[in-house]
Chains A and B, each alone.
Chain A
């Protein structure tokens, strides 16, 4: 093997001998380990790939800033709710392309490791930086998460697929082309069904199914670090990181449905463990194709556009690089409204690529049709056809993790967990399903500990859900902690819930047990209960009556208020007093109330 230097996987001698990096600040290489490209800033707008990615963090900040400036009322979400009478005339159509970074150990075409935050240019092989004479080496393991995603999105897995080169010059593209699947993608003809609880537009009713044209595998580009005014430093760690591109059909007619679609695809990809990160962390980017057409009116044949069997469409524009759900929705609204404006004023929509920045109210033209690049797709002569065996597909189908909506269905089943859809979706969405696993563990342990009869009475699924979704969080908030499966283990929670359901401890005791454990008490739950004498020793009815009588005699004014002024609410005050005077956690509120009413002779 080659004698690699730390940093770039290319022998150091090479760098010493033949200068690899840009002249003016060659010294920067040593410190920053970044390649240098100098271009004029004007190039940013004239370049044609649209890869103008604003980091998500920056977008959030910009968005917050804009909000402060203009106030919440400007939110387009509200604007969209105000019925725009023009929408009765014009119908919106949207198709989406989603690029997601696959969760793989190696790059698509080299054995270099994938990385997220590694030192710049520390995971780069010869072919990643397109050295003369180097050849791609397809890493077939990268297919696994891609196939899982395709199966989850109901696609037909293609027995044979192949790789093509998509050509364009840009400094983040070492070979001068991106390897993608243009002619023969590995997955075709899938679909995704969105339900009302997924957040689709009310007009779409209870559910809508959106076709997926294809899913293709492709390689990512390098990361550009800008050093204004003209220097761009290049980090090739990301080059050839495997991506999938999911292309939907233009089956979407409402902005909120488009956002719901991206959100649901993200959650499916996540549940398949197919992607590195969600949209919020920059692991997903979306391009949307937007067109409008007049309802109940067919476009003349020469004007109507079609896409993969969907016909009669208006001229579309493409908005590139949207990196949040809100951006998807807002950009579509803005572009829809712009197109309607143009058409109502007698204008014509031009096929063009447009950009969108969060917080703005309109899309911005990036380039027109004449500026569109011809990618000159060509089958890659070095790469063989990819053959996916039926056996592999079947195996992946059998071992496929459940999708979030399938999981939610399981949780709602009254014979299983009996949760409401609201709780079920919340549970699935939290902590990347870690919370769900924890919940399942708790339920499992409870079922082992409680008898069938006890389980039937107490509805284990709901009790556990209340604890896992609500009670734990509020207890954690008081100590400024956040949920994790190890803070209160499933076994610990079970050990607390079981005596509580059996009325062996009170609710107050249960809470104080959790506080103790969070504070670092390492003893087992039953040990704390017995050592601190927390077990509820049921008091006799006589005990309750005596305590009630003592309280009533000591507070004649309140008795008067109850008996004369009929202020029955004050009984509650007596109950509270009884709970206080009694030994910690030993007074049951219901029995106390009964004893008090007895003494006070009220109903």
Chain B
């Protein structure tokens, strides 16, 4: 046993041991070199490396570029690809003393809800009764690694729920910040108007620590929020807590008929707990919620079909044997071999919804729905949306009788078993995202907190959604819910 002042090294050793013993879960695609990791942890213990994340082992979803380990996106087409550069979030992580533990498994390019669409095989978790269950997706490798102690925390990406859903299914905390706060430079795009770097950890406090390190303006990401907007955000999102009781919103539309009774009861118990803390509960209406999922599954594949057009094997990635135009269509051999079924399905879907005959009925309509979803949220929240610069500067936007945050389940069901999944068709899998997609469409901060349900011996993910830029409030409420006694 190492002495107390070597606790970081001890933790690192424990993580590495777990990486070996839980290899069967398939959480990692590649692991950092062991001796280098241990050396870094030891350096942190000795104080020669400092920073808020010094000596911490952090798993990184394999669609975030790292220059020292491959970045495969769990795709055959990038199976041997190593990025020539670090993503901005990785540079920041390293500057803060964090150690990249390895690259975690995912649904290929982030497309999936159960981390089973991977070139490197599915990620799974074991139940007490030896049944294999879904870890959620697409950041399932990151979630499984954190849940089983293979790293201290992990980065994921959340496009329509890809951090929150796996957090809910594996019983940990999953945080998706407001769109534009964390740089996407180096994050391999799936649907870039929705893609957000997210954090998976054992607690809201850990997530906040990482969030503080990663948040910042990055000139290389054209969608990174500029300093002026960040300043406006801190002006409005500032001191909500100190003002006393919060108004908690409960969206009526989330109480769907297919909601699992266990999920429902944990939702109710969470609301009761918050009420007991002195906060007030209010019904809110988000009428466009029903259309949100459809809009998401039009917009995300459309962007995906565009973003994935670059994979032709010419400049990087894996290339099919023979001439590039051997079949009738250029690059079809490389793309046909390199992409998995779910990726192909979404590329086809996206190519269709963008096509001249369909775009008016699908892509354009979906964009409209997206704006309506955003408007629903703006109406529900007490605080104005700091992105609406003009309204705020003119004094037109003022606080109303809305709520401070919304509290709802992260997923409609308990963690499905692998057996359940095998019986599902792709559409069923898409339905998993029904509660996570609206916040993604509006770019809002959202966190999934594990709530224990004693009678089911399970953890259920409860989601907190805040107004744009109210990331700290969302993290703080997450922290309160975590303290809920079982």
Residues of chain A whose beta carbon lies under 8 Å from any beta carbon of chain B: 2, 10-11, 13-14, 17-18, 20-23, 35-40, 42-43, 46-47, 126, 129-138, 165, 167, 169-171, 174-177, 230, 234, 374, 376-378, 381-384
Residues of A within 8 A of B322 (CB): 38
* CB pair B325 A131 closer than 8 Å: no
12 residue pairs A–B, Cβ–Cβ below 8 Å: A2-B84, A11-B67, A20-B316, A133-B87, A133-B189, A165-B306, A167-B354, A169-B330, A177-B306, A177-B309, A381-B223, A382-B189
Whether, in the assembled complex, B23 has its beta carbon less than 8 Å from a beta carbon of chain A, the answer is no
* CB pair A132 B316 closer than 8 Å: yes
Residue of A nearest to B192 (CB): A381
CB distance from A264 to the nearest CB of B (A): 34
Residues of B within 8 A of A136 (CB): 222
CB distance from A171 to the nearest CB of B (A): 6
B328-365 contacts to A (CB < 8 Å): 328-331, 351, 354-356, 359, 363
CB distance from B33 to the nearest CB of A (A): 15
* CB pair A132 B65 closer than 8 Å: yes
Whether, in the assembled complex, B326 has its beta carbon less than 8 Å from a beta carbon of chain A, the answer is yes
* CB pair A378 B302 closer than 8 Å: yes
* CB pair B315 A130 closer than 8 Å: yes
Query: How many angstroms from the CA of A17 to the CA of B316 in the assembled complex?
Result: 11
* CB pair B328 A46 closer than 8 Å: yes
* CB pair A18 B315 closer than 8 Å: no
B308-332 contacts to A (CB < 8 Å): 308-310, 312, 314-316, 319, 321-326, 328-331
Given the known A-B contacts A22-B314, A175-B310, A176-B309, are A132 and B324 also in contact in the complex, defined by CB atoms under 8 Å?
no
Residue of B nearest to A109 (CB): B222
Whether, in the assembled complex, B475 has its beta carbon less than 8 Å from a beta carbon of chain A, the answer is no
Residues of B within 8 A of A177 (CB): 306, 309
Among the listed stretches B75-83, B93-101, B263-271, B407-415, which one makes contact with chain A, having 4 or more residues with CB under 8 Å of it? B75-83
Query: How many angstroms from the CA of A126 to the CA of B83 in the assembled complex?
Result: 10
Contact with A along B183-202 (1 / 0, CB 8 A): 01111110111000000000
Residue of B nearest to A40 (CB): B325
Whether, in the assembled complex, B241 has its beta carbon less than 8 Å from a beta carbon of chain A, the answer is no
CB distance from A285 to the nearest CB of B (A): 22
* CB pair B81 A132 closer than 8 Å: yes
Given the known A-B contacts A126-B84, A132-B83, A381-B193, are A171 and B330 also in contact in the complex, defined by CB atoms under 8 Å?
yes
* CB pair A171 B314 closer than 8 Å: yes
* CB pair A135 B220 closer than 8 Å: yes
Query: How many angstroms from the CA of A416 to the CA of B193 in the assembled complex?
Result: 59
Query: How many angstroms from the CA of A40 to the CA of B354 in the assembled complex?
Result: 29
Query: How many angstroms from the CA of A40 to the CA of B328 in the assembled complex?
Result: 10
Query: How many angstroms from the CA of A176 to the CA of B222 in the assembled complex?
Result: 20
Give 17 A-B pairs besides A14-B84, A133-B83, A133-B185 with Cβ atoms closer than 8 angstroms: A2-B85, A13-B84, A17-B82, A20-B316, A42-B325, A46-B328, A130-B315, A132-B310, A133-B186, A171-B324, A174-B315, A175-B310, A176-B309, A376-B306, A378-B306, A378-B363, A381-B191
B125-184 contacts to A (CB < 8 Å): 184
Residues of A within 8 A of B42 (CB): none
Residues of B within 8 A of A234 (CB): 314
CB distance from A395 to the nearest CB of B (A): 24
Residues of A within 8 A of B222 (CB): 135-138, 382-384
Residues of B within 8 A of A38 (CB): 322-325
Residues of A within 8 A of B223 (CB): 135, 381-382, 384
Residue of A nearest to B81 (CB): A18
Query: How many angstroms from the CA of A138 to the CA of B188 in the assembled complex?
Result: 19
* CB pair B189 A18 closer than 8 Å: no
Contact with A along B289-317 (1 / 0, CB 8 A): 00000000000001101101110101110
Whether, in the assembled complex, B19 has its beta carbon less than 8 Å from a beta carbon of chain A, the answer is no
Residues of A within 8 A of B310 (CB): 130, 132, 174-176
With most chain B CB atoms within 10 A of its CB, the pick from A18, A23, A47 is A18
B191-247 contacts to A (CB < 8 Å): 191-193, 219-223
CB distance from A224 to the nearest CB of B (A): 12
Residues of chain B whose beta carbon lies under 8 Å from any beta carbon of chain A: 64-65, 67, 71, 73, 78, 80-85, 87, 184-189, 191-193, 219-223, 302-303, 305-306, 308-310, 312, 314-316, 319, 321-326, 328-331, 351, 354-356, 359, 363
CB distance from B347 to the nearest CB of A (A): 11
Residues of B within 8 A of A47 (CB): 330
Residues of A within 8 A of B354 (CB): 167, 376-378
Residues of B within 8 A of A138 (CB): 222
* CB pair A129 B315 closer than 8 Å: yes
CB distance from B79 to the nearest CB of A (A): 10
Contact of B312 among A18, A42, A169 (CB under 8 A): A169
Residues of B within 8 A of A10 (CB): 84
Query: How many angstroms from the CA of A174 to the CA of B433 in the assembled complex?
Result: 33
Given the known A-B contacts A175-B309, A378-B306, are A137 and B220 also in contact in the complex, defined by CB atoms under 8 Å?
yes
Query: How many angstroms from the CA of A73 to the CA of B321 in the assembled complex?
Result: 53
CB distance from B310 to the nearest CB of A (A): 4
With most chain B CB atoms within 10 A of its CB, the pick from A42, A167, A169, A177 is A169
Residues of B within 8 A of A21 (CB): 314-315
Residue of A nearest to B184 (CB): A135
* CB pair A35 B314 closer than 8 Å: yes
Residues of B within 8 A of A17 (CB): 82
Residues of B within 8 A of A171 (CB): 312, 314, 324, 330
CB distance from A185 to the nearest CB of B (A): 18
Residue of A nearest to B351 (CB): A376
With most chain B CB atoms within 10 A of its CB, the pick from A40, A129, A381 is A381
Given the known A-B contacts A47-B330, A384-B222, are A18 and B356 also in contact in the complex, defined by CB atoms under 8 Å?
no
Query: How many angstroms from the CA of A138 to the CA of B65 in the assembled complex?
Result: 22
Residues of B within 8 A of A176 (CB): 306, 308-310, 312
Query: How many angstroms from the CA of A129 to the CA of B184 in the assembled complex?
Result: 18
Given the known A-B contacts A38-B324, A133-B188, are A22 and B319 also in contact in the complex, defined by CB atoms under 8 Å?
yes
* CB pair A20 B315 closer than 8 Å: yes
The 5 closest A-B pairs by CB, nearest first: A176-B309, A39-B325, A381-B193, A376-B354, A14-B84
* CB pair B71 A132 closer than 8 Å: yes
Residues of A within 8 A of B359 (CB): 376-377
Residues of A within 8 A of B65 (CB): 132-133
CB distance from B371 to the nearest CB of A (A): 13
CB distance from B187 to the nearest CB of A (A): 6
Residue of A nearest to B328 (CB): A46
Residues of A within 8 A of B324 (CB): 22, 37-39, 171
Given the known A-B contacts A10-B84, A22-B314, are A132 and B325 also in contact in the complex, defined by CB atoms under 8 Å?
no
Residues of B within 8 A of A175 (CB): 309-310
Residues of B within 8 A of A165 (CB): 306
Residue of A nearest to B221 (CB): A135
* CB pair A11 B84 closer than 8 Å: yes
* CB pair A131 B83 closer than 8 Å: yes
* CB pair B330 A167 closer than 8 Å: no
CB distance from B54 to the nearest CB of A (A): 25
Query: How many angstroms from the CA of A382 to the CA of B310 in the assembled complex?
Result: 15
With most chain B CB atoms within 10 A of its CB, the pick from A2, A23, A133, A377 is A133
Residue of B nearest to A169 (CB): B330
Residues of A within 8 A of B363 (CB): 378
CB distance from A137 to the nearest CB of B (A): 7
Residue of A nearest to B302 (CB): A378
* CB pair B82 A18 closer than 8 Å: yes
Given the known A-B contacts A22-B319, A38-B324, A133-B187, are A378 and B330 also in contact in the complex, defined by CB atoms under 8 Å?
no
Query: How many angstroms from the CA of A13 to the CA of B83 in the assembled complex?
Result: 10
Residues of A within 8 A of B219 (CB): 137
Query: How many angstroms from the CA of A317 to the CA of B191 in the assembled complex?
Result: 37
CB distance from A351 to the nearest CB of B (A): 14
With most chain B CB atoms within 10 A of its CB, the pick from A126, A131, A174, A177 is A131
Residues of A within 8 A of B351 (CB): 376
* CB pair B309 A167 closer than 8 Å: yes
Residues of A within 8 A of B71 (CB): 132-133
Residues of A within 8 A of B312 (CB): 169, 171, 176
Query: How many angstroms from the CA of A10 to the CA of B305 in the assembled complex?
Result: 26
Query: How many angstroms from the CA of A18 to the CA of B354 in the assembled complex?
Result: 33
